[in-house]
Chain A
Amino acid sequence: MNFEIDYLALAPELVIVATLLAVFTLDLLLPRPKKYWTATVAVAGTALAAMPLIILAVEGGTRSMFDGSFVVDEFALVLKGLFIVAAYLVLLLSHHYIESERFYQGEYYFLLLVSVLGSMMMASARDLIILFIALELTTGPLYLLAGWRKGDVKSNEASLKYFILGVLSTAILLWGMSLLYGLTGEITFSGIAAATSGMAGEPAVVVAVLFVIVGFAFKIAAAPFHFWAPDTYEGAPTPVTAYLSVNSKAAGFVAMLLVMYLALPDLSGIWAPALWLLAALSMTLGNLSAIRQSNIVRLLAYSSVAQAGFMLVPFAAAAVAGSDLEEGFSATVIYLVIYAVMNLGAFACVIAAANRTGTGEIDGWAGLGRLDARLGLLIGIFFFSLAGIPPLAGWFAKFAMFRSVILAGGTATVVLAIIAAVNVVIAFYYYSRVIKAVWLDDPPEPASDHVAVPPSVSLRLALLISAGLTVAIGFYPTIATFVADASRVIAQAAGG
């Protein structure tokens, strides 16, 4: 056993831990009117956590600790970078929202940072226990945060639904994991991979793998395990919803892919068809349900279910076809990164537009583009990007997806590609409904009596960053493809 600790490798997480402790302490000491300092510290600390990441990236190489249970390689760094950027954006979104609604500020930032810590650990987890702790660390605080609008029944409902289903899924996942441990006697991914290579036919293994998949499917809100998502998303405070739909979904995805790819590569005969089904159902059910939504957050909730389906497509296709998982894996990760940027931007727009119009109903946004052209333009950018229309970032995500599917070849994948192609069209239809309301519909007569709240500085910054990235990746996707290169590192780990 080797218990030497590489502090540089742990530095990003340590900075976050220090920040969240500082937030917690400050919250105790500061008088109520000065609580906004907690937000400043949280934002600064998150930005600071990026520094060791950059140092690690420059130094390069793979750092492994605790007998290979905790690994910092390029792949982990890229994902940690993603989690930090996304967390930074969510903090910017939260700043004004949390302050103006007189929520408990200190606790809010504390809990959010705990969740960020969990997601960052996830990227490095290479055994079942660390993975599980990271996953629970990510989702646990969110049960509380979803119910942060205490006076609102919907928020209570959101929290309760999320909690009950979250705990249920945790139990299912844990049971699957314990079966895996019992069958193999191993907790590290590489150990499990070695031990399960000849076990494909055993019923207990099938049960274990399926339970693990179902557990993760709840976490990433893939259909048919997505029913909690729309209600939770709608009731939770909007910045928390943004976090749920991006960071926590991404963390779940990373966990699932790591387990499938590193721990169970030889059992793809079991999980590949299951993922194929999850992908097809998520795309189709998510999109078809989204068409009927009138509330923007519910629309985005179903859209994120559908997007989860698109994200699963490359990995599922590669696994079903029995071709190189590496390509599928990197396409899924590219999709995840681009999705994170544009979806956070979309939620930033939701907050800004709700401030402007006083409503989250799509019809209530009628004529918004004519009242506030800049906001209208941003809404156009993010929603067209989500729909995958060039030259915005989303096109490359869809492109990478289709590319890896075609590469995989085989009948089952071609069917999946066609389902995805049809779904791209359906998805465009409901995203364009938002655009239609904002740009094509006439402003209401007489004008709504809502007093428009101008976007705060932090919200503007969040919009600027995400819009800049969305347009830049769209025109020059090479910015995003380094993610693909980084994720190949893990392929070598799996191969060697």
Chain B
Amino acid sequence: MEWFDSWGLTLIVFLPLAGALLLGLVPGDKEDILKRGALLVTLAAFGLSLVLIWLFEFGGGTYNTYQFEVNESWIGAINANYHLGVDGISLPLLVLSTFVMVLAVIYSWNHWEEPYNPKAFLILMLILATGMNGTFVALDLVLFFIFFEIVLLPMYFMIGVWGDRTPRKIPGFAKEIETRLYASIKFFLFTLFGSAFMLLGFLALYFKSGEFGERTFDIVQLTELGAMGSFTGTFAFLVFGAMFLGFAVKVPMWPFHTWLPDAHTAAPTVGSVLLAAILLKLGSYAFIRISIPILPEEAANWAPAIAILAVIGIIYGSLACLAQTDMKRLIAFSSVGHMGFVMLGIATLTDIGINAAIIGMVAHGLITGLLFFLAGSMSHRYHTREMDRLGGNMKLMPVMGGILAFTAMASLGLPGLAGFWGEFMALVGSYNPLDGLPLGVFRTSMVLGAIGTVLTAGYMLYMLQKVNLGEPKAEWDGHEFHDVDRWEMTAWVPLIILIVVIGVYPKIIFESTTDTVVSLIDTVFGSDVTASISSGG
């Protein structure tokens, strides 16, 4: 498998893009060929990522060593390289990305939203896959930036073309405009605003690195410089701030979250699933991969602020959920809360907290992805997402209702299901954050976060009660509802299985992440700090 060492990651990243180009050549009315082609390509990428797990050497390696590395010159003039690699932190996320993509293609088999056009939709999905997979393995800041931005285009079109067509009154605009138009441009502008500043931050790092040798965008080299304490003072503060803007918009953290409810609600089902399951992870992953290792001192300075924003996100997201009448919008706001836990975990700068963040990301990807699938399928049948009009779903569609109940339980963090570990460990981590961080802030965060878990349970049960329980409303009398079909089953069962498996045996994630995370904390914050904490991981 020599070739796989050097070509594996490139294939996983660019196979979908090549598939997109090939699909472009197939006439639009050959729907079967298009769908099978897309499925084949995503399955191949997923298969390759399984090979990656198979060949991956778990444990041992110190942080900042990567496997399956490729490092070729790309833009010689600015010393930007085509540098890919994977380690214990990015592996689960990469696999998650290729895995969810397969399910998204399967689900879309017979779920097309207006104005149809499966060809264009599948092509966009494949381009999206390239952007997402690439972001998780890029080890060069310019390359990272490109992949980070590539995902914008397909998602913009997914929301804008296939999105929700209900007209909406937007404050400040005289005319009512369709939700999809508003949401798509809002999504794009927010992210673009953040990433313009992120780019400025990257460039500042690049030039600063010139003081210690050749200027570089290489994450590995910058991490080494960061661990040696090269980036400090006002410079580091500003750079961290600039990158924070870019990443925080993507996560999204309160108060940069306002694009999220609109984008999620307006997006077509598959778009919402991919947004929730993978796109949101790009931001939090970037914090772990770029911000913390390269600017450790500033990470410690900013950590309390991040923790506070994260907790505000948790509480605010939960309260906002309780005020929703639209089922999909409720799930969208729940993401703000869940990503709050992820960011709280990261802010502790401990191995427990960052492990919590990664398993939280994976779990959120699986659970919220499934919730959006369900919300999409239900609105496909009821033609409404208003919870006041739904109700008695258990009686009308028992299987769908059962899955919804299961997923809602997973989402509220029921022990034994995947969602539990991220929340629980983030709270444990914030009881005992990295030495030197203000204990008061983090312990208060822990208490407020714990209240947040209660609120989470509150709104999830509120949704279940509204949608699943009670008697069906009179308007549905005489309607025949088709319960879960086989495509939906095929897409959902793997998610359900994984939610249970990770819930009872989280080691399958930690096996990959723990050593790398411990070593990360070791390398950048010194080993004496972590010795006291790591026993709990």
- Interface residue ranges, A against B (CB under 8 Å): 370, 373, 384, 389-391, 395-396, 399, 402-403, 406-407, 417, 421-422, 424-425, 428-429, 432, 436, 439-440, 442, 476-478, 481, 484-485
Contact = CB atoms under 8 A, between A and B. Distances in A.
16 contacts: A370-B115, A373-B120, A389-B149, A390-B146, A395-B146, A396-B75, A403-B78, A421-B197, A425-B196, A429-B189, A432-B185, A440-B160, A440-B180, A476-B74, A478-B77, A481-B77
Which 5 pairs from chain A and chain B are nearest by CB? A481-B77, A421-B196, A440-B160, A406-B203, A390-B146
A369 B507 CA distance: 49
B157 to A, nearest CB: 6
A428 B157 contact: no
Contacts, number: 78
Given A421-B196, A424-B192, A425-B196, A477 B149 contact: no
Contacts of A403: 78, 203, 206
A461 to B, nearest CB: 20
Contact of B181 (A390, A440, A476): A440
A442 B181 CA distance: 12
A478 B153 contact: no
- Helix, strand, loop or mixed for chain A's interface? helix
Given A403-B206, A425-B193, A440-B161, 5 more contacts: A399-B142, A406-B200, A425-B196, A439-B161, A442-B115
B145 A390 contact: yes
Interface in B180-204: 180-181, 184-185, 188-189, 192-193, 196-197, 199-200, 203-204
A484 B77 contact: yes
B319 interface: no
A406 B150 contact: no
Contacts of A439: 157, 160-161
A173 to B, nearest CB: 34
Contact of B196 (A424, A477, A485): A424
Given A390-B150, A428-B188, A439-B160, A478 B199 contact: no
A478 B75 contact: yes
B76 interface: yes
Interface in B279-327: none
A440 B184 CA distance: 10
A391 B150 contact: yes
A478 B72 CA distance: 13
A418 to B, nearest CB: 8
Given A390-B150, A399-B142, A402-B200, A425 B189 contact: yes
A389 B148 CA distance: 11
B200 A432 contact: no
Contacts of B161: 439-440
Interface in B416-458: none
B330 interface: no
Nearest to B157: A439
Nearest to B114: A442
Nearest to A427: B192
A70 B206 CA distance: 38
B80 to A, nearest CB: 8
Contacts of B160: 436, 439-440
A428 B189 contact: yes
A477 B76 CA distance: 9
Given A476-B74, A484-B77, A399 B199 contact: yes
B7 interface: no
A413 to B, nearest CB: 11
Nearest to A428: B192
B152 interface: yes
A467 to B, nearest CB: 13
Interface in B124-169: 142, 145-146, 149-150, 152-153, 156-157, 160-161
B505 interface: no
B476 interface: no
A30 to B, nearest CB: 43
Contacts of B145: 390
B236 to A, nearest CB: 15
B156 to A, nearest CB: 8
B462 interface: no
B192 A391 contact: no
B207 interface: yes
Contacts of B115: 370, 442
A436 B160 CA distance: 8
A25 to B, nearest CB: 45
A389 B152 contact: yes
Contacts of A406: 200, 203-204, 206-207
